[in-house]
Amino acid sequence: MHINTTRDFSQGSIPKNIMQLAVPMIFAQMINVLYSVVDRMYIGHIPNAATSALTGVGITFPIICIITAFANLFGGGGAPLFSIAWGRGNRERAETIISNSFVLLIGTGILLTIVVLLIKRPLLYLFGASDVTFPYADKYLNVYVYGSVFVMISLGMNNFINAQGFGRIGMMTVIIGAVLNIILDPIFIFVLEMGVQGAAIATVISQLVSAGWTILFLTGKRVTFRIRRNRMRLEPKLVKDIVFLGFSGFIMAVTNSGVQIVCNATLQTFGGDLYVGVMTVINSIREIATVPINGLTNAAQPVMGYNYGAKLYHRVREGIRFTSITCFSVLAAIWLILFLFPEFFIRFFNEDPQLVAACIPSMHLYFFGFFMMAGQSAGQSAAVALGRSRQAIFFSLLRKAFIVIPLTLILPNFFGMGVTGVFIAEPISNFIGGGACFITMLLTIWRQLRTKEMEEIAASSKA
C-alpha cells in the first residue's frame, strides 16, 4: 500500500523544516559541485600540461554557467510556483507546472547543444583563450556540450523532488552521478590517457545517469505530484510565469558567466594565462564555499512558499529570520577559514609554485568581506519564494551586471592596479549589492508580511 510521505510545511518548527531539507540538499549540492570541480582537480595534475590544461578548462566555465542558467530558469522558476499551488491545494495546477517545466528543460537543452557547437571557437577566444589554452578548452567543450540535456533535466527537475520534501532523494540524484564521475575521471584521464577529453566524457556519462534517476522518480508511484504526459502541452501564460519567476536565478547565473568572460578577458590582457589560471582556481574554491548557502536558501524557498500560499505569514517571517542569521554566520566562518589557509585549498587544484604564489594574495582580495554576500542570498531567496520576481531580478542584475562588470573593466586601468583591480571588484559588489538587497527585503517583504499577519489576527478575533 502506497504511503504519501510528502511533508506538510505548515506543521512543526520552521528551522527544523528548513534544515531537514537543507542538510541533504547541501550535501547533494556539494557532490554536484564535484562534477566540474573534480575535473579541474584531476586536470590540474596532468603531467607536463597541468597549468595550461586547467586554464583551458576554466575558460569553458562561462558556457557551463549559461547551461546551468537555463536549468535555473525553468527549474528554479517552476518549483516556487509549484510550492504555492501545492499550499493552496491545487493539484492539477501543481502537476501542470512540473510537466511544462520538464518540456522546457529538454527543448532548451537540445537548442543549447546546437548553438554552442556552431559558435564555440569564437566564443572561447572571446572568453580569454590563447593559442596555448584553446586546444584544451575545445577538446573539453566539444564533448561536454553533448550532455547539456542531461544537465538540464537533473538540475532543473531536481527542484521538484526537493520541493515535495524528498530531500534525500534529491541528494541521491546528484550523489549517483557525481560518485560515478569521481570514479570515471581518473580512468578516462590517466588510465586511458584521454586528458581533458576524458574528463568531459566521464562527466557526460555521469550526467546521463543522474537525469535517468530523476525522470524515473518523478514518473513513479512514490511522489504525489508527477510528470504527466497529458499535462506536457505548454501553456503560454504558465510558461511566462515560470520564466518570470525563474528569471532572477537565470540572471544570476548568466551574470556570473558574464563576469567570468570579462574577468578572463581582462586578466588575459593584464596578466596573461597565469592569472586566467588563478581565476580558474578561485572560482573553483568559490563554488565549494557557496554550497552551504545555496543549499540553505534553496531549502528555505519551498518552506516559505508553502506557508505563504497557506497564509501563515508569521511562519514565513520566521523562515526569513532563520535563513538570514544562518547565512551571515556560515559565510563569516568560511571567510575566516579561506583567509587563514588559502594555500591549502589552492594546492587541491594546482601545485605550480608560480600559480600558487600569484593566487594567495588574489584570494585574500577576492574573498574580503565574503559574509556580505549573505544579504543577497537571504533577501533574494525570500523574494523568489514569495513570487516577487521583479525584486529578485533587479538585485540579481545589480550586484553582477551593474557593479562587478563595470568595475572589472574600469579599475585595472586606474593607478596601475592591473590584475588587482579585477580581484577587488567582487568584494565591493558584495558590500553594496548584498547590503542593498537585504535592506530592501526588510523594508518591503518583511514589513508587508507583518502587516498581513496583523490583519489576519484582527480578522480572526472579530470572528
Model pLDDT for residues 415-435, shown as the tens digit of each residue: 789 999 999 999 999 999 999
CA distances from 168 to 121, 297, 442 (A): 40, 17, 32
Gap between the Cα atoms of 45 and 281, Å rounded: 13
Q: So what's the pLDDT on residue 339?
A: 94
Q: What is the dihedral of CA 9, 11, 14, 16, to 10 degrees?
A: -90
More confident residue, 167 or 101: 101
Q: So what's the pLDDT on residue 329?
A: 96
Q: So what's the pLDDT on residue 437?
A: 93
Q: How many CB atoms lie within 10 A of CB 462?
A: 6
Q: How many CB atoms lie within 10 A of CB 255?
A: 21
- Asked if residue 9 is part of any domain, the answer here is no
Q: Which residues contact 455 (CB under 8 A, 6 or more apart)?
A: none
Question: 47 — alpha (psi -120 to 50), left (phi > 0) or beta?
Answer: beta
- The closest alpha carbon to 73, from 389, 377, 455, belongs to 389
- Asked if residue 3 is part of any domain, the answer here is no
Instruction: Count Cβ atoms within 10 A of the Cβ of residue 236 and give its class: 0-12 exposed, 13-18 middle, 19 or more buried.
Output: exposed
Question: How many domains does the structure of the chain reveal?
Answer: 1
The percent of residues above 90 in pLDDT, for the chain, comes to 38
Query: Given a cut of 70, is residue 36 above it in pLDDT?
Result: no
Q: Which tens digits make up the pLDDT trace of 293-307?
A: 988 998 898 889 888
Note down the domain range covering 216: 14-462
Average pLDDT over residues 111-122: 93
- Asked if residue 403 is part of any domain, the answer here is yes
- Asked if residue 62 is part of any domain, the answer here is yes
Gap between the Cα atoms of 154 and 229, Å rounded: 18
Query: Given a cut of 50, is residue 322 above it in pLDDT?
Result: yes
- Asked if residue 312 is part of any domain, the answer here is yes
Q: So what's the pLDDT on residue 7?
A: 62
- Asked if residue 6 is part of any domain, the answer here is no
* C-alpha atoms less than 13 angstroms from C-alpha of 266 in its C-beta half-sphere: 25
